[in-house]
Chains A and B, each alone.
Chain A
Amino acid sequence: MTAPPYDPMSDGTLQSDFVEQWRDAAYGCFSSGHKFCREVCPVMQVTRNENHTPTAFHANIVAMEQGNLTVADVADDYVHCTQCGACELRCPNTLFTGDFYRNRTRTVKVVKAMRALAVQSGIEQPGWKRWVEATIDAKSEPVLDVAVSQENVANWADGLGLPIGGETILFVDCEAAFYRTSVSRSTAQLLQMAGLEFGLMREQWCCGGPAAEMGYTDAARQLADHNVADWRSYGAKRIITLDPHDYISFTEDYVEYFGPDYEFEIVHITELVAELIREGRLTLTTPIERVVTYHDPCRLNKRKGIHASPREILRAIPGLEFRDVDHVTQWSYCSGAGAGLAIEKPEITAEISRRRVARAKELEVDTLVSACVWSERPLSAAGGEAGIDVRDLMELVAESAGLDPSGVHGAAGPQREVPA
Chain B
Amino acid sequence: MTTLTPIRDGVVDELRAILGDEGVLTGKAARYNRTRVPAPFPVHRWAEYVPDLVVLPRTAEQVSEVVKLANRERIPVVPRAGGTGLNDGALPLKRGIVVDIKRMNQIKEVDLVDRTVTVGPGINMLKLNEELRRHGVMYPDDPASYPCSLVGGRIGTSGWSLIGGRYGHTRDLVISFQMVLPTGEIIEVGDGGGRKIRKSSTGFQLKHLFMGHQGTLGIVTEATLELVPRPEMEFAAFFHYPSFVAAWESTGALTKSGLASLGGVVLFDEHKLRYLRRDDEAYIPRPDHVRAVVATAMYGTRDEVEPAARRIMRIGRESGGTYLGDEISSGDWASRHDRYATPLHGRLRTGEVVPMSWHCEDASINYSQLPAVMEKWHAIADRYITTTGILDDWGMFCYTNGAYKPWGDYLVEIDIGIWEQKLSDANWPDWVACKREIAQVALDHGGSITACHGATREGDAELVPVEMGGGFDVMMKIKAALDPNNIMNPGKYELDRAYGLDEKVFR
Give me the interface of A with B, judged by CB distance under 8 Å.
24, 27-28, 30-39, 48-51, 53, 55-56, 59-60, 62-63, 66, 68-69, 72-77, 90, 92-93, 95-97, 99-101, 103
Contact = CB atoms under 8 A, between A and B. Distances in A.
A330 B355 CA distance: 31
Interface in B273-297: 279-282
What are the nearest 4 A-B pairs in CB distance?
A33-B38, A100-B281, A92-B341, A31-B357
Contacts of B338: 36, 92, 95-96
Interface string B335-354: 10111111111000000010
Contacts of A38: 82, 124, 148
A51 B357 CA distance: 21
B251 interface: no
Interface of B: 1-3, 25, 27-30, 32-34, 36-38, 43-44, 46-47, 50, 56, 82-84, 100, 102-103, 105, 122, 124, 126-127, 145, 147-148, 279-282, 335, 337-345, 353, 355-358, 420-421
Given A31-B357, A68-B47, A90-B147, A51 B30 contact: yes
Given A39-B124, A39-B126, A97 B345 contact: yes
6 contacts: A28-B355, A36-B337, A39-B126, A73-B1, A73-B29, A101-B353
A76 B28 CA distance: 12
B81 to A, nearest CB: 11
A73 B355 contact: no
A38 B80 CA distance: 15
Contacts of A103: 345
Given A39-B148, A48-B102, A96 B280 contact: yes
B440 to A, nearest CB: 27
A27 B282 contact: no
Given A36-B338, A97-B342, A31 B420 contact: yes
A96 B282 contact: yes
A97 B44 CA distance: 27
A35 B344 contact: no
Contact of A97 (B50, B337, B344): B344
Give the secondary structure class of B's interface: loop
Contacts of A74: 29
A301 B241 CA distance: 42
A100 B276 CA distance: 13
B83 A35 contact: yes
B2 A72 contact: yes
Contact of A31 (B3, B25, B280, B344): B344
A34 B102 contact: no
Contacts of A49: 25, 30, 56, 102
Given A76-B1, A90-B147, 10 more contacts: A27-B420, A30-B357, A32-B357, A34-B148, A39-B124, A56-B33, A68-B50, A77-B29, A92-B342, A100-B279
Contacts of A66: 43-44, 46-47
Contact of A48 (B2, B32, B46, B122): B122
Contacts of B102: 48-50
A266 B124 CA distance: 40
A104 to B, nearest CB: 11
A69 B281 contact: no
Nearest to B98: A50
A73 B3 contact: yes
A109 to B, nearest CB: 17
Contacts of A34: 38, 84, 145, 148, 340-341
A92 B281 CA distance: 12
Contacts of B100: 50
A31 B36 contact: no
Contact of B25 (A35, A51, A63, A97): A51
Task: Identify which of A34, A48, A53 gathers the most chain B CB atoms within 10 Å of its CB.
Answer: A34
